[in-house]
Amino acid sequence: MKRVVITGAGTINSIGQNVSQTINSFKAGRCGISDLKFKDVERLSIKIGGQIHDFEPDKHFNRQQLSLYDRYTQLTLIAANEAIEESGLIFNGQLAASTGVVLGTAGGGVSTWDDNYRAVYEEGKNRVHPFVVPKLMNNAAASHLSMKYNLKGPTFTVSTACASSNHAMAQAFQIVRSAQSPVMVTGGSESMLCFGGVKAWEGLRVMSKDACRPFSLNRNGMVQGEGAAIFVFEELEHAKRRGANIICEVKGFAMSSDAADIVNPSKQGAARAISNALQDAQVNVEDVGYINAHGTGTAANDKTECSAVADVFGHHADKIMISSTKSMHGHIIGGTGAVELVACILALRDGIIAPTIGYEEQDPECALDVVPNEAREAKVEFAISNAFAFGGLNAVLVLQKV
C-alpha cells in the first residue's frame, strides 16, 4: 500500500476565508457565530449561526457561473482554488486522467431548494430556472470542481449527514493508498443557512439560541455553520519526486454504523470507529496526542463521545487533548469534518491545539482535557478527527506529523 500525504489545503468558513485566517482564529479562540441575516429570519426561534457575512460571490464568479453555482458550490470552488494552488500541481495528461474528486455534503444546494420553493409556493410563479436541478444536486460541487481543473479520475459525492466529509476523505485516501490514483482532491462543503434550512434543524429541538458550548455542563445545543474545506491527497513518493511541500500524512481511517437509532448516538459505534481507525493506521493509543472531537454541544453527543474516548484509550484518555472547534465556526454539517481537519493540521504542523471556547463548567460525564477557552502549545505526533452522524454513521481519520 502507498503512503498518503496532504500537499494542499483550502477553506472558507465563518472564522476565516482561507487557511491562514482560519488558523489565526483557532489560535485566538475567535467565535464566528453571530446573528443570522437572510429573509424571514425573524420568523425563526433560532437566529444565530456560523454565517460567512462578508462573502461577495460576484467578486469571484461571473453571472453565468452564478446561475449554475449554489452557495455550497461557490464555497467549494474557493476552497479548492486555495488547496490546488498551494499544492503546485498542474493537471494535464496522465495526471489529469487519473486524478478525481471525492466530496462530502449533506444537503447540497439547500439555498436553491429554498429559493425555488418560495418562488413557486409563496410568490405563485409557474416556472423556475432551467438550471435548478443541476444547481441543487449533491454532486454539483464535485462536478464543477472536476470540470474547472480538468480532473477526469473517479469523482463522486458522499452524503452521510454530519460524517459526509470524513467519509469522503476516507474514500479519497483509500483510492490513493491502493494506487488507483497518485492524487485525489477531497473535502466537503455545506451551506444550509437559509430559512428552510434552519427551520428544519429548529424542528429537531437540538439547537442553541445563544452559543455552542461543547462539553460544558451548561451546554444547550448545537449551532449551525456554513463553509468548505478542500485538500489535495497525494501519494508520498509522487509528492517527493516533484519537491512538494508536505503538510502532514494521512495514516488510516475506519467507518462504522451504530445500527441503533436514527438520531441518538451510540458509544459502542463511536468507539469501534476510533479503535479500528487506530488499528488501520497501526498507531498505539499512547501515541495519540490530540482528538478533534465531533463535539456538537448537545447533551447526548458530548457525553457519548467522551465515554467512547475513555473506553478506547483507557488511562491514556486523561492525557489526550480533545477539543471541538464547532464552538467557533458552528456545525457545518456535511462540511464540518473537512473544516475541522484544518485544526488537526494546526496541531501537527504548528504544535498548537485549537481550544473549545464557551466552556464554563466541567461536566462530570465529559471529564477529559477539552482545552477550554484558550489555545495551547503542544507537541503532537498523531491526531485523530471524529465524525459521528445522524443515522449512526461514523467515520474517523488518523493523521501524523511529518
299-316 burial: b if 16+ Cβ within 10 Å, else e:
bebbbbbbbbbbbbbeee
Joined together, the cell numbers standing for residue 255 give 467507518
Centre a 10 Å sphere on the Cβ of residue 139 and count the other Cβ atoms it contains. 18
Q: Are residues 344 and 208 in the same domain?
A: no
| Alpha carbons 319 and 236: distance in angstroms, whole number | 31
In a domain, 249, yes or no: no
162 belongs to the catalytic site: yes
Q: Indicate the SS3 state at residue 285.
A: helix
In a domain, 360, yes or no: yes
Domain boundary among 202, 219, 241: 241
Q: How far is CA 376 from the centre of its chain?
A: 22
In a domain, 247, yes or no: no
Q: Which amino acid is at 336?
A: T
Domain boundary among 214, 241, 268: 241
pTM over 0.95, yes/no: yes
In a domain, 145, yes or no: yes
Angle between helices 299-313 and 267-281 (to 10 degrees): 40
Given the residues 31, 194, 331, 344, the one annotated as active site: 331
Q: Are residues 271 and 230 in the same domain?
A: no
317-327 burial: b if 16+ Cβ within 10 Å, else e:
beebbbbbbbb
Q: Are residues 88 and 212 in the same domain?
A: yes
Q: Are residues 237 and 273 in the same domain?
A: no
CATH number at residue 344: 3.40.47.10
Q: Name 20's Cβ contacts closer than 8 Å, sequence gap at least 6.
A: none
In a domain, 357, yes or no: yes
Joined together, the cell numbers standing for residue 390 give 445522524
Q: Indicate the SS3 state at residue 206.
A: coil
Q: Domain range spanning residue 215?
A: 4-241
Q: Are residues 81 and 43 in the same domain?
A: yes
Domain boundary among 187, 206, 241: 241
| Alpha carbons 196 and 202: distance in angstroms, whole number | 10
**Segment 212-236, tens digit of pLDDT:** 999 999 999 999 999 999 999 999 9
In a domain, 246, yes or no: no
Number of structural domains in the chain: 2
Q: Are residues 190 and 284 in the same domain?
A: no
Q: Are residues 226 and 295 in the same domain?
A: no
Q: Which amino acid is at 65?
A: Q
Q: Indicate the SS3 state at residue 166.
A: helix
Q: Are residues 235 and 264 in the same domain?
A: no
Given the residues 167, 238, 294, 329, the one annotated as active site: 294
294 belongs to the catalytic site: yes
| Alpha carbons 282 and 276: distance in angstroms, whole number | 10
Q: Are residues 306 and 371 in the same domain?
A: yes
**Segment 236-273, tens digit of pLDDT:** 999 999 999 999 999 999 999 999 999 999 999 999 99
pLDDT digits (tens), the chain, 402 positions: 999 999 999 999 999 999 999 999 999 999 999 999 999 999 999 999 999 999 999 999 999 999 999 999 999 999 999 999 999 999 999 999 999 999 999 999 999 999 999 999 999 999 999 999 999 999 999 999 999 999 999 999 999 999 999 999 999 999 999 999 999 999 999 999 999 999 999 999 999 999 999 999 999 999 999 999 999 999 999 999 999 999 999 999 999 999 999 999 999 999 999 999 999 999 999 999 999 999 999 999 999 999 999 999 999 999 999 999 999 999 999 999 999 999 999 999 999 999 999 999 999 999 999 999 999 999 999 999 999 999 999 999 999 999
Query: How long a stretch of residues is the chain?
Result: 402
Q: Are residues 213 and 302 in the same domain?
A: no
Q: Are residues 156 and 281 in the same domain?
A: no
| Alpha carbons 137 and 133: distance in angstroms, whole number | 6
Residues 339 and 228 sit within 8 Å (Cβ to Cβ): yes
Given the residues 31, 144, 162, 238, the one annotated as active site: 162
Q: Are residues 202 and 260 in the same domain?
A: no
